[in-house]
Structure 1
Amino acid sequence: MTERNLAQFRFARHCKDKLEALNSAYLDGGDAAATALATFDADRDNIEAALRSAGEIAQADADWNALVSEFADASMHIMLVRQTPTERLTTFQHQIRASRILADTEAEGRALCNAALCHEALGQRRVALQELQDAEELQRRCKNDRGLAIVLQNIALTLTGLGDEQSAQSKFKQALDLARSVDDRATQASILANLGTSYAKTQEFDRARECWQNALVLEQERQHRFGMANALGNLGLLAGFQGAHDKALQLHQSALDLHTALGHQTGIAYAHSNIAACYSSLDEMEKAEGHFAKAIEVHRFYGDLSALAVTYYNLALLREKADDHAGAAQSAQEALRLFEKVDDPRKDSAEALIHRLAQGRDGGAHAP
């Protein structure tokens, strides 16, 4: 390396080491997670600049490529709550390239899995599914049960996004068995939360509740506030569906408080959408629309097109309920445009709503 290149390398490694320590502290949950996020925010510009430069400089140099791969691993969790899917995707694409140069099969599998999550968030589900299937093959080749459990869970999430709940549930169960076999409680909690959501979609509500309650227990044991917030939000959804709207509102507000304390913008957006649904059920339309507006702002900024589409669809239902048919039609058209863009089967629900609004009929559709 030249003297200048060596200085860049040392700075990038210093930032990687710092991010790695912060990521570890974040995973400890509780006050450690909040402190880690605050520390990251204070030095974010330097860390992100070092991450970008490492990916751009690394070519055939083994030391740089190893650093790129380590940097991506170190960024995995904190960057999930601080960067957009497009920003994270660049990091993992650099890791895929670096790991292939180094013939590091395990790192390539992790990178493919994480790149797929980014493509999923951007609505590119079929690209994500192919990346995940490639990652599954690599993890099986490495006999890495912990990594395989994570990959299978992400395949299940992609399948549920494509509307294939039965196949998704089968993958979730395989992933859960593997996570339990290696005593990975963090992954167990995540799988249980997502399996519960799939059961709710197939109207198996007792199974959904059991999954979410078990996930909450695991997250409380770990004092992991991000996971606790997700579990509370899921239980709030179930309470709302069963008509306990005041209880649901309380659970969603608790989830919002936790996400806000962590600065997790996507979690904040989902909590606002859930609170909006509660207020709609309580016929407090102005409050409901205000919370939907906050959710839309976050989803649009972070580029989560699937979530944005669902929020617009639910806003259309709210406006229809409030007899604002012009506003409802506008929101439904935007939902349809986004659903089509991300190849989401829920576009059929948006088309049906647009047709009903055009005919001036009262339907009684439910949010997709």
Structure 2
Amino acid sequence: MIRAACASLPPVILITSISFALAQSPFKPELVLTISGEEAVLAAAFSSQDQIAYAIQKTIERGELWARGAEVYVVSLDGKEKKRILRADRFRELRTGRILSFQIDRLVFSPDATKLAIELTPRQGATAVFFYKSTGGEISLRGQGNFAAGYGVAWLGDNNSVGMLEEAAPPRLLHRIFVVRLEAGRFVPLFRPRLFAAVAWLAQEMEAVLVERDESFSQPPTLVRGNLVSGSVTPLGTEPDYLGGLRATGDEEGYSYFAGQNKLVRRKLNGEVAATMAIPFSHYEWLGTSGALAYLEPEKPGMQTGWLALWDPQRTEGTRLLPDERIKNFWVAPDGKHVAVLTAEEIPVLKVYRLPVQ
């Protein structure tokens, strides 16, 4: 299931292939890994140890019956090590044993790269997060199975807790916050009865920045800072122009969000404005602690496809990193040195690039 680029031998292509490319100019992203298959790559995540996890769709046929699930793998960025974490036939109906269909939504590594959270939604049922060792094997929550109902999972700095959301106003307009302690199998609700429209997890500090809203949306959004251990909340001020895209900065010394279709605001943790950036409203990720960020430059306003672009604090405008590659999603490594893009093809391909030093 590995395809390596080689000057003298033709590539061998199997169901899932991984390929390598020669180094490019140091001033351009360098393609280091390509992951593809007969069906679409759905999601990916980098670990802190030069690994990437990915989910690839897989259709299983049993006579006239079929199910559509996914398989999850962890592979080293040099392609030498690969481990399957989740099989597509993992979930079955208890009474009949029939394989159940499901969709992978997100993959998230723990900070120390030893654990992997797989967020998935069954064809009929609610979203849940399943916990695995990154080397394979389920992680049991004290005899309660290896999963927790909810979504928006994020590992916290102790490598044993995750923050999660539960729906308070459909369709996921407002959320309640809770923390799961894996070893103890404890579910800890936080900040009740407050409701939130968004959360940015400060994993190392065991805190979060949240956008609080009232249930009727009659009051302007309020930014607050919440402690995930004590449950205390500190107001940071209102933001009438809040549009979305709340994220912690790479150094966790601040947070950012869109305050307009082409305005990204970065604030310090005390609420003070640190910078504003002319970036189109879209998916973006901070590149480690460099102060730079990558974002999806949409083909047209509101479109989910476009080009990977870079905003650097030394420049006044963004620059396309991969001008010839139309993409639909991307993921950034914790240190900001690699990025994985999902191509906008009929069967999307995952390509991993090493980024120029920031």
Task: Compare the two structures and name the one with the higher helix fraction.
Answer: 1
TM-score (norm 2): 0.28
